Amino acid sequence: MSIEKIVDQALQDGYLTPAMEAEVGRICDTAAELSIEEYMALDRLMGALLTGEVVAVPRKQFINVMEELVLTEAIARVAEIEATSDCTLDLGDIAAYALNRLPPLYATTEEGASYQRTRAKAELQVIITQKVSEGISRNLDQPEFFPERQVIRKEEKKDDVLGQISSLLQTYAHKYEGEDEVQSVEG
């Protein structure tokens, strides 16, 4: 959306939303130079904001208490598992798995967050622990994708790179002619 359209929408609605503000900021940050029309639109928006014709909707801060509780549980469990084994777990994947299966607990004040924490620990801690455990199990069960991958090393000799590519082709190309067959054709 262009700056002019955003300003027109804000003037029509009487509100500048955080999304509109972010889009104007993104356009201004990425543009090498703004056009005269864009400057005029920004001037109209600034005037409307100063007169109160357009009100900037404040960004509301939300506290996701469930996110805090899940991360606390996941960090403790992952640290315990990684300390006693040689596996590495993805904390983000585990937390996302659990959060997608738990109810959100948002609060807008610290008092509300405190209430949600107390309530969640009393009523939902067993479920939180269960969902984090399921996330860990799923993370442990994921296969290691392409464990046989090797980086193509750039060597000084041209033959070495070609040899590596030939080896890769032998490994991955379907119906690849082997080195012996290529030599017999050349000879």
**pLDDT (0 to 100) of residue 150:** 64
State how far Cα 40 lies from the chain centre.
36
Tell me the pLDDT tens digit for each residue of 40-94.
Answer: 999 999 999 999 898 888 776 788 899 999 999 998 898 888 888 888 888 889 9
DSSP string, 123-168: HTHHHHHHHHHHHHHHHHHS--S-TT--PPP--SSHHHHHHHHHHH
> Predicted confidence band at 126 (pLDDT cuts at 50, 70, 90)?
very high
Residue 70 neighbours by CB under 8 Å, 6+ apart: 95, 98, 99, 102, 128, 131, 132
Give the least confident one: 10-24, 85-99, 109-123, 164-178: 164-178
Which two three-digit tokens encode residue 158? 């041209």
| Entry pTM | 0.51
Q: Are 140 and 89 in contact (CB under 8 A)?
A: yes
Tell me the pLDDT tens digit for each residue of 128-187.
Answer: 999 999 999 998 887 766 666 666 555 555 556 777 777 777 777 665 555 555 555 555
